[in-house]
A and B are shown apart, each in its own frame.
Chain A
Amino acid sequence: MPNYRNNAMPYTNYRQTQMVTPVVRRDTSDDMSLAMAYVPWQVWRNLYDAEKGFHCGTIFQELNMPFLGKGGMKR
């Protein structure tokens, strides 16, 4: 299943989106029914070494998503 992780609109520029007219998105293929949540299937790749993984809380670089503070930006 293709990975939809990157093309989600980042929530950071919330103010600008208010002025932008909504864009029609074509990323749902036919076999995906509407109104369903989808989680991309994880692939075994990009590991931290054990020591770093222990400190970051995950051995997978892709899952290392520290909370960045208000509005998703580094404070």
Chain B
Amino acid sequence: MSNKPNRKELLNRINVVSFAVDDVKLFLDTHPCDTEALAYFHEYSKLRNQAMHEYAKYYGPLTVDTTVESCSDRWNWINEPWPWQEGGC
């Protein structure tokens, strides 16, 4: 079991890769056939999914898409601090 990643670092990681995905998404809107941009998108989109699922596994889901990680027996969604609460994401 890899050791538990630090919450702040993992969240920062998610922000960084999510931003890259958003920026390349905008570029692809106007350059749909750009192969380099597409490769970049797939690479960072994969990184983002991994980070999101990892965060969900340790600290609870950020989005409903990653609830599969930690809400199998109980709806843990409500356990984690809400974004506006102290320690929230």
Contacts and interface: CB of A to CB of B under 8 A. Distances in A.
Interface of A: 42, 44, 47, 50-51, 53-54, 58-60
B42 interface: no
Interface in B27-45: 27, 30-31, 34, 36-37, 40, 44
Contacts of B24: 59
| Chain A contact surface mostly | mixed
Size bracket, chain B contacts? 10 to 19
| Chain B contact surface mostly | helix
Contacts of A50: 16-17, 19-20, 44
Q: In the complex, which of the residues B16, B30, B31, B37 has the most CB atoms of chain A within 10 Å of its own CB atom?
A: B16
A44 B20 CA distance: 14
A7 B39 CA distance: 33
A46 to B, nearest CB: 12
Nearest to A52: B16
B70 to A, nearest CB: 26
